[in-house]
Structure 1
Amino acid sequence: MTSTTKTLSLTGSKLVPTLFAAALGLVLITLTGHVQAAALHDAAHDVRHATGFPCH
Structure 2
Amino acid sequence: MTTSTQTFTTTRTSEGAKAILVAACLGLGLVFLAGFSPASALHNAAHDFRHTQNFPCH
Q: For the superposition of Structure 1 and Structure 2, which TM-score range results when normalised by the shorter chain? A: 0.3 to 0.5
RCO higher in structure (CA 8 A, sep ≥6): 2
Normalised to the residue count of structure 2, the TM-score between the two structures is 0.44
Q: Give the number of the structure whose alpha-carbon radius of gyration is greater.
A: 1
Choose between structure 1 and 2: higher helix proportion. Answer: 2
Normalised to the residue count of structure 1, the TM-score between the two structures is 0.46
